[in-house]
Structure 1
Amino acid sequence: MTAGRQALGRFGEDRAARWYVERGYRVLERNWRCAEGELDLIVTDGTDLVVCEVKTRSTDSFGTGFEAITPRKQQRVRRLAAQYLREGPGWAGPVRFDAVSVVAGKVEVIQGAF
């Protein structure tokens, strides 16, 4: 991955994290990694654990970030979230999966997307 694409992805994740914090969520993890892959953002509102898949685009010329969160990607995120829960904080509450699209700096969130 090029440095420019990495910077764009980091920008989108920063914007997404800020969106959640502004709404009262607490960021637990950013770019959580294990041998099988990475979760972009994990936040909580104190009740729900929210696993966020963030896709960033500089323009919507080739579609929104939502279009890149395919069923296969969703399945991977679910599998990684299960791994996080096995290794992690001992979460016993509900888990939600959100899709976040950041296009030209504008954040859109679909809560409970998958």
Structure 2
Amino acid sequence: MAQKDVLGRQGEQFAAEHLERSGYSIVDRNWRCRQGEIDIVALRDGVLVFVEVKTRSGIGYGLPSEAVSVSKLQRLRRLAGAWCAEHEPRIRAMRLDVIGIVVKHGQDIRLDHLEGVS
């Protein structure tokens, strides 16, 4: 497995643990369809949250969350619709979140959770 894939999986695990500590239930992880992948689907207080996780080993190219473009958010909305069509959840509301994580060797992890990004 490539180093960036290992870093990405580590970041997704940190994100899932953060969400659980914050009162979310993890509903699905790494859900795939022909249109792409949703990193995490979580639920809290009747709100279904589709989470894009971006992990970096530094901020030389900007914060991880800055890598989520408008076109990426549009794709996430389509993926969220596909997930709902397959699972038919009973929910009050939905939203898209981004969790950006910086993991620098020998330093504390930086995690930024941006709620309702679209």
Q: Under TM normalisation by the shorter chain, which class is it?
A: over 0.9
Instruction: Map 1:1-114; keep pairs closer than 5 Å.
Output: 3-104=2-103, 105-114=109-118
Q: CA contact under 8 A between 2:39 and 2:53: conserved in structure 1? A: yes
Determine the C-alpha separation between the residues in 1 that align with 2:10 and 2:88: 27
C-alpha RMSD of matched pairs (Å):
1.1
TM-score using structure 1 length: 0.94
Q: CA contact under 8 A between 2:48 and 2:91: conserved in structure 1? A: no
How many residue pairs match? The answer is 113
TM-score using structure 2 length: 0.91
Q: CA contact under 8 A between 1:85 and 1:91: conserved in structure 2? A: no
SS of the residue corresponding to residue 96 of structure 2 reads: strand
* Structure 2 unaligned regions, length at least 5: 104-108
Paired-residue identity, % = 36
Determine the C-alpha separation between the residues in 1 that align with 2:91 and 2:8: 30
* Structure 1 unaligned regions, length at least 5: none
